[in-house]
Structure 1
């Protein structure tokens, strides 16, 4: 028997460097500095990829194809997205050199104004060249896998939030920065799986302890007549800052817009913030005013229950569109605070919503919007999480372009305590292939048959009607 051959480590290292673009001229500590310093990078050669945002400001790009090159013990969680690996790498200075929480408390933080450019960060997806990366983002229909992009959006928003709250030396005070909500994520044009793309974002608005982050997905034309240079996907995330010990709200760095576009983005975000507060206030006073609409919605559902033979065959009860799945939250899915990564929850919710719309419509739907996401309670490692979805309602005003609105609710279930609490609510809108409609496909009207269901439908419809464009 021949002895086992020793592995050729030099060849392995050569392949690894080629795959992930590691060069001696751009070591890891330079990459971290460029992404977490509070001043613009001075060494233009330290990052190979740059992109120009709509404000004409150059920003260093994180390469989505780069992977973690550190011992697993130094990472709080290991995600399946290459982009989140790269973003963890960019954040690594935070948990490699943590600020002493006993020496500096969040009550001693002195917020300083920061320009949006100081938090602007982008991540580059080299789909045209990196076939391994592209394959991880492909769905069965040879389109982009939107669930993974949604996950990456949340990860990038978290990186930007950390960057905005960092000190002058790049360290971050002992804060919990968590996703509070996603107001909108709108698909404005198709995303092509075989063309490079960049996600870029920055903080656009700051309250006392909350901030809004706007992200854009940009896919340059690169000679492809089917692609325009306008953003393909736009999203608004709201993050809140909490004291890491008491979990009470703490003040964060304010924002100081520098350009006209940044001022306009700030004004739009301020309007959204005022609208959110107004809607919460009005919700308490309008519940008694919805009785007529409520009875109208319930009328058809009651026919299904009381006289099923006479029910409209073009309608279906809301409860008959439901799907659900359950899983235990694993330590590999945790963030740096030891809780489950919000992007992971969004991906799982999106994929269940997609399946629900698929089973309802009878053809693979196409994504249009993440209408809203609420992060009600944190989800911890070891939690038993149940995701329940349903088609909340359909929009059939335009028969050629029907819309399917799906709700997904996440419940943290604790069998030992015989309890179940809502942790997240997700709302998605899907469209249907026009060719399928031309070929005779009919999308059914969805009707509630309980007062609770009817109130949910009305609440969601009102929220959609009040959205800013």
Structure 2
């Protein structure tokens, strides 16, 4: 086996899509692979790992599962993506937002695509006679923006596996960009993200074991221990039933008190508050074949992108000023979304945090529903939680700006608010 086969991989991203005719032999052109239309990053990733992905596209029939688990290091899955924004005008224009920063929605797509590639690299056994695993995004623990990301300077994403369980994998991604004042200085982390993938047997659809992980450096061991602690905490939470004790009942009543005034005596309600239901926005779409991943399901990054755009619009309509993204608090992928599904995204402002007037926070919830009119059914496929503030330059143009407080009208809304507040405080 080639000892350099698993060395850290660096992939440059191009702004143009390769010509579909640029292929040799019987190999299917990358441009015709499912999902490649999402982003230049997806194309670059699949081009770089084409042999592995071709196995996933056309797995051997009746092939046995992997018989022996391997032990791999984080460096064997480590992958780097380079965005040459400073020299590639087409790429820069594809990622530019109205404020000359990188479009966060497109970046979320790329993060999911890269995390998926890293999980495939870790789980690959390089045996073409075994059937590959089905790897799906289970959740996103946290995506934190630490500084604005300019579209005029080159960008880099570095990611690797930091922890594995029996059938789950955690991948950490760091987005770095050199200082604007001195491009030659060392890279600075602009955004961090943690993705959880789970492995399924592609034939039985049951949970499948994944290759083991052996961290080598002190930093890798530290990340592994942190991820292990987070995983143990999640297991503990899953085993606990949420009961509202006396103190929480009082919090519930306090939240509902102002909402009841809105419902029963709207003329006397606090003008600095607003009902949660009055912050709702919604959009719908039919999932198209161009949005699918290599497994034929709708690409998780696409769902995150669409949810982000709706959350941004919700925060914009609520604040009355251009919002500024801060973090993705949590994303759950509860059920797969298929091509042809009627998908509805519903958003609302769950609550605001006003204790810091220089950076008031807007917490937005987006819930995706797969709706089947012919069956009269609607199921939640994803939940997304985003945090925004208001762009400082926009706030200075509006004297006396103040965000309104969000209050629930029902006990169900109050419980959702409290549960999200408590989840945020524990992170």
Which among 414, 422, 427 is matched to residue 462 of structure 1? 422
Paired with 1:172 and 1:164, the residues of 2 have a C-alpha distance of 15
- What SS does structure 1 have at the residue aligned with 2:243? helix
Quote the Cα distance in structure 2 between the aligned partners of 1:308 and 1:227: 57
- Can you list the C-alpha shifts for 1:335-358, whole angstroms capped at 9, x where unaligned? 111100000000000001001001
Aligned to 2:145: 187
CA deviations 1:67-113 (Å, max 9, x no partner) are 344447841234231112212223432343444241223xx432111
CA distance in structure 1 between the aligned counterparts of 2:2 and 2:167, rounded to whole angstroms: 19
Work out whether 1:416 is the aligned partner of 2:364: no
Could you tell me which residue of structure 2 aligns to residue 139 of structure 1?
Answer: 97
Structure 1 counterpart of 2:188: 230
Q: Secondary structure at the match of 1:360?
A: helix
Asked if 1:450 is matched to 2:417, the reply is no
Match of 1:61 among 7, 11, 15: 11
Is contact 1:216-1:232 (8 Å) kept? yes
The 5 A counterparts of 1:61-460 are: 61-65=11-15, 67-70=17-20, 71=29, 74-97=32-55, 98-105=58-65, 108-168=66-126, 173-221=131-179, 224=182, 229-282=187-240, 284-287=241-244, 290-438=248-396, 439-460=399-420
Q: Is the 8 A contact 2:256 2:408 kept in 1?
A: yes
Q: Distance in 2 between matches of 1:147 and 1:311?
A: 37
Structure 2 distance, partners of 1:462, 1:38, is 49
Question: What is the CA deviation profile of residues 225-261 of structure 1, one whole-angstrom value per residue up to 9, with x for unaligned ones?
Answer: 7987321100000000001122110100010001000
Task: Mark the runs of 5 or more structure 1 residues left unpaired by the alignment.
Answer: 1-36, 43-56
Distance 1:444 1:310, change over 3 A: same
Counterpart contact for 1:38–1:167, Cα < 8 Å: no
Q: 1:94 to 1:171 in 2, by over 3 A?
A: farther
* SS of the residue 1:286 aligns to: coil
Q: Distance in 1 between matches of 2:158 and 2:129?
A: 22
The alpha-carbon distance between structure 1 residues 305 and 210, as it changes in their structure 2 partners (threshold 3 A), is same
* Whole-Å separation in 1 of the counterparts to 2:116 and 2:92: 23
How far did 1:40 drift? 3.0
Distance 1:191 1:226, change over 3 A: farther
Contact 1:153 1:215 in 2 (8 A): yes
The Cα shift of 1:461 comes to 0.5
Is contact 1:371–1:429 with CA below 8 Å preserved after alignment?
yes
| DSSP-derived class of the 1:218 partner | strand
SS for the counterpart of 2:379 is: strand
Listed one character per residue, the Cα deviations across residues 438-459 of structure 1 (whole Å, up to 9, x for unaligned) are: 4221111111111111111111
**Which segment drifts farther, 238-247 or 162-171?**
162-171
- Determine the C-alpha separation between the residues in 2 that align with 1:194 and 1:78: 25
Which residue does the alignment assign to 1:4?
none
CA contact (8 A) 1:212 1:239 kept: yes
| 1-structure distance, mates of 2:183, 2:296 | 46
How far off its partner does 1:122 sit?
Answer: 1.1
2:4 to 18, 40, 51: 40
Larger RCO of the pair (alpha carbons < 8 Å, separation 6+): 2
Cα deviation, residue 295, structure 1: 1.1
The total of aligned residue pairs comes to: 414
- Tell me the TM-score normalised to structure 2 length: 0.92
Q: Distance in 2 between matches of 1:73 and 1:454?
A: 48
Distance 2:330 2:180 in 1: 33
Compute the displacement of 1:436 (Å).
4.1
- Change beyond 3 A, Cα 1:246–1:59: closer
Residues 437 and 220 (structure 1), Cα distance of their counterparts in 2 relative to 1, 3 Å cut = closer
SS at match of 1:231: strand
Match of 2:369, SS? strand
The answer to which of 224-233 and 316-325 deviates more is 224-233
Give RMSD over aligned pairs: 2.2
Q: Within 2, Cα distance between the matches of 1:218 and 1:150?
A: 14
Change in Cα spacing, 1:343 to 1:38, as seen in structure 2 (3 Å) is farther
Match of 1:455, SS state, is: helix
